Amino acid sequence: MSLMFQLYRMLVPKPIRTRLLLSSLAKRIPDFHSRINDCSNDPERKAVMDYIKRKGVQIFPYDFTEKYDASSIAVHEDSSCGLKYVMMDGKRLYFKRRWSANRIQKSFHDLSLEQDPESPHRYLSADFDLGQEDVLADFGAAEGNFSLSVIERIKKVYLFESDPEWKEALEMTFLPWKDKVEIVPKFVSDKNDEKNCSGDKFFYDKELTFLKIDVDGGERKLLQGFKDTICNATNIKIALCTYHQHDDEAEFTNLLQSAGYAVKPSKGYMIFYYDKKLKAPYIRRALIRAKKNG
């Protein structure tokens, strides 16, 4: 990191840096895609460029985001444990004890955007879903919203979340279904020790039919430690995030296809401007959905 960049980060407040970044990207992204002329035959990319010209740069450059208002989200407090929660599809979703109501509103707002039916970050689709015989591994569970959305119609779920602050909230959220939920407080990676476990070792003698993988850039190490299970498995589905690094989609698609999976990206793109290494082509597929039948 250069001295000038360090000084810039020290002297310029983060909100101002973010506004400057978004303003710069709003010019750079359409200019780049115009130069390489890759939108004329790609309506999905053209839709993103049209959105940027109308409304600027957003993580999800689509109009569906306007349906959501963080300030309208009701945050409740459970007097029995002192934790705050929101209602999600008639079920309680609990949050970290130290989080304020405002932070919970912002978090649940972002979760709602991610799993909107029109979102490129949505894990499931009409032909890529879970049923009553499925065993789910939720890697990067955090607050557990995805698993909560399907908990009533699956056989079992393993919640992998290494942040100890989430454990209490997850236990409360899944208390009504504790007989089919196991919380695993470890990183899932390519090694096994006190804080880490590999998927191959953990699932060596366990049933598994669905993997949801969103681990904030740790996907490569997770897949490396899961390669035997992934390669040898049959009748399995994988929803794998591909937006944390610029070459995730191509690398993960090739890996899974070489292991016999049929792979499709979700519809649409993200602009993950939180990545300090963001570079052209700037827009990224949010995830891929992979299937392997016996």
Task: Say whether 189 sits in a helix, a strand or coil.
Answer: strand
Instruction: Give per-residue burial for 101-122: e unless 16+ CB within 10 Å, then b.
Output: eeebbebbbebbbbebeebbbb
pLDDT at 224 over 60: yes
Instruction: Give pLDDT tens digits for 43-100.
Output: 999 999 999 999 999 999 999 999 999 999 999 999 999 999 999 999 999 999 999 9
CA-based nearest residue to 8, from 23, 20, 22: 20
Q: Do 76 and 53 fall into the same domain?
A: no
Q: Do 157 and 267 fall into the same domain?
A: yes
| pLDDT over 70, % of the chain | 96
Q: Which domain holds residue 28?
A: 3-57
Question: Which pLDDT score, from 0 to 100, does residue 14 have?
Answer: 78
Instruction: Give pLDDT tens digits for 166-185.
Output: 999 999 999 999 999 999 99
Residue 64 lies in a domain: no
Q: Are 86 and 76 within 8 A, CB to CB?
A: yes
Instruction: Give pLDDT tens digits for 50-66.
Output: 999 999 999 999 999 99
Q: Are 30 and 243 within 8 A, CB to CB?
A: no
Residue 77 lies in a domain: yes
Residue 236 lies in a domain: yes
Q: Residue 99: which CATH number?
A: 3.40.50.150
Question: Which pLDDT score, from 0 to 100, does residue 9 have?
Answer: 67
Question: Which pLDDT score, from 0 to 100, does residue 36 have?
Answer: 85
CA-based nearest residue to 140, from 119, 118, 123: 123
pLDDT at 5 over 80: no
Q: Do 182 and 107 fall into the same domain?
A: yes
Q: Do 131 and 50 fall into the same domain?
A: no
